[in-house]
């Protein structure tokens, strides 16, 4: 791994070699079969373990099934379940409910009204299905993010081609606790717009992160939308330049928001990891870019106890988002200045999709990898000591 670091180090936009760190690995696990497994959104559960979701080609009923795995605190598999039909079915986001059950948001081409439909699925603590619901029309619709609303219902965010005013619009959908739709809202203009992540805010409303080709200054711009508890728009902000920019992850802080994604408009490479800090009204306070290769992409950000941030994502030497090389992990201070960073995985291909802080302060990164697995890509999770 260190040889690979030396090969890419001259390309890094920051000159201080002291930022390179090698956090101690506590454990590393992959899960999969002879086919491809991709995804990797992660959840820390009440019992100290973890849940992974994504898609498996190795198991289940169809070309790709939604895969849900429960892990213990050391990354060992407790159980796994597949859900789907003859088409492609994918889990994109997962949360734990008060009863210890799980709710997964994603999309399905096996069920629903046509094309790709958003999919919401509820299981018990053992992973056995309790109910599922699909949402969408005759065109493609999908959910990338799910959160629990204050009333015990669920909020799905993604995109819709079936509704709205453009080819694709940001789609925000509210259900009750049984997955029955209560309302949905679309946001967008005549071009393509997509929601990537949603969070419930302290005032009971929602902050939506994504990208827009309808507004902004050029290409796709990163887009923040603040909505009230009924999904009505309060304000919107765009961020970016003449090329392609996107926010993939958002968290509320004490006095605003922290967002991570990627930018082709700023930085030193074709794409760079992008960290963006705003106040509570979405006004930019600062932004930072990080890159070591032709393309670097941020996918998930979490605040740390000392006021800093941890970002994961991946690098791509050919500069494309769909060709990951190494998982990338970056630790910054409260102003977004790098304290340390590292590449994860060693030989092969790894993509960092989600990051969270463990109960003991460790860092857990998940995604997919073709290193050391059973075949093709496998779901991947690793835990590192922090400090």
pLDDT at 319: 67
Q: Which pLDDT band holds residue 67 (cuts at 50, 70, 90)?
A: very high
Q: 80-104 burial by CB neighbour count: b if 16+ within 10 A, else e?
A: bbbbbeebbbbbbbbbbbeeebbbb
Confidence of residue 349 (pLDDT cuts 50, 70, 90): confident
What is the C-alpha to C-alpha distance for residues 285 and 367, in angstroms, rounded to an integer? 30
Q: What domains are defined for the chain? A: 48-164 (no CATH), 188-387 (2.120.10.10)
Q: Is pLDDT above 60 for 159?
A: yes
Per-residue pLDDT at 177: 97
Tokens linked to 319? 């500069």
Q: pTM to 2 decimals?
A: 0.93
Q: For 280-321, what is each residue's pLDDT tens digit?
A: 999 999 999 999 877 999 999 999 999 999 999 999 877 667
pLDDT of the residue at 171: 98
Residues 6+ apart with CB under 8 A from 372: 30, 348
Query: What is the per-residue pLDDT across 224-245, written as a single tens digit (0 to 9) for each?
Result: 999 999 999 999 999 999 999 9
Quickly list DSSP for 21-79.
--PPEEEEEEE--SS-EEEEEEEE-TTS-EEEEEEESSSSSSSBEEEEEEE-TTS-EEE
Q: Please check the confidence at residue 8 and state whether its pLDDT lies above 50.
A: no
* Count of helix runs (H) and strand runs (E) in the chain: 1, 28
- Kindly state the percentage of the chain with pLDDT values over 70: 93
8: CB partners within 8 A, 6+ apart: 292, 293, 315, 343
Q: Are strands 37-44 and 50-56 parallel, antiparallel or unpaired?
A: antiparallel
pLDDT at position 138: 95
pLDDT, tens only, 25-58 = 999 999 999 999 999 899 999 999 999 999 999 9
Averaged over 330-336, what is the pLDDT? 97
Look at phi and psi of residue 189 and say left if phi exceeds 0, alpha if psi is from -120 to 50, else beta. beta
Percent of the chain whose pLDDT exceeds 90: 82
What average pLDDT score do residues 182-202 get?
98
In the prediction, which pLDDT does 9 show?
Answer: 29
Strands 256-263 and 221-227: unpaired
Residue-level pLDDT at 313: 96
Cα–Cα distances in angstroms (integers) from residue 262 to residues 93, 188, 300, in the given order = 20, 21, 11
Query: pLDDT tens for residues 175-187?
Result: 999 999 999 999 9
Confidence of residue 6 (pLDDT cuts 50, 70, 90): very low
At residue 373, the pLDDT reads 64
């Amino acid at each position: 791994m260190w040889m690979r670091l030396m090969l890419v180090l001259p390309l890094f936009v920051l000159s201080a070699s002291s930022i390179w760190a090698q956090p101690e690995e506590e454990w590393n696990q992959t899960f999969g079969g002879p086919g491809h497994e991709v995804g990797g959104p992660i959840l820390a559960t009440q019992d100290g373990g973890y849940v992974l979701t994504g898609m498996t080609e190795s198991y289940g009923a169809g070309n790709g099934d939604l895969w849900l795995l429960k892990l213990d605190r050391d990354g060992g598999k407790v159980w796994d379940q597949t859900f789907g039909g003859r088409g492609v079915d994918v889990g994109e986001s997962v949360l734990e409910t008060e009863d210890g059950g799980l709710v997964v948001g994603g999309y399905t081409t096996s069920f629903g009204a046509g094309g790709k439909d958003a999919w919401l699925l509820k299981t018990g603590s053992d992973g056995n299905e309790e109910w599922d619901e699909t949402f969408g029309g005759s065109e493609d619709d999908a959910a990338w993010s799910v959160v629990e609303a204050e009333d015990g219902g669920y909020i799905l965010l993604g995109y819709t081609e079936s509704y709205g005013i453009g080819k694709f619009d940001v789609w925000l959908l509210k259900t009750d606790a049984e997955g029955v739709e209560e309302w949905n809202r679309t946001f967008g203009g005549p071009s393509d717009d997509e929601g990537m992540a949603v969070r419930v805010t302290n005032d009971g409303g929602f902050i939506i992160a994504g990208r827009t080709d309808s507004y902004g200054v050029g290409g796709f711009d990163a887009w923040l939308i603040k909505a009230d508890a009924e999904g009505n728009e309060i304000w919107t902000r765009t961020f970016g330049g003449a090329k392609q920019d996107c926010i993939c992850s958002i968290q509320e802080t004490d006095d605003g928001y922290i967002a991570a994604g990627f930018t082709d408009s700023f930085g030193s490479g074709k794409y760079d990891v992008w960290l963006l800090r705003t106040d509570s009204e979405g006004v930019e306070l600062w932004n930072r870019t990080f890159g070591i290769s032709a393309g670097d992409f941020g996918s998930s950000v979490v605040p740390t106890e000392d006021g800093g941030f941890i970002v994961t994502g991946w690098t791509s030497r050919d500069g494309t988002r769909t060709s990951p090389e190494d998982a990338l992990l970056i630790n910054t201070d409260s102003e977004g200045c790098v304290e340390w960073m590292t590449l994860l995985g060693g030989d092969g291909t790894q993509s960092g999709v989600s990051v969270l802080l463990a109960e003991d302060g460790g860092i857990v990164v998940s995604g997919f990898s073709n290193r050391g697995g059973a075949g093709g890509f496998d779901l991947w999770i690793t835990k590192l000591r922090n400090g």
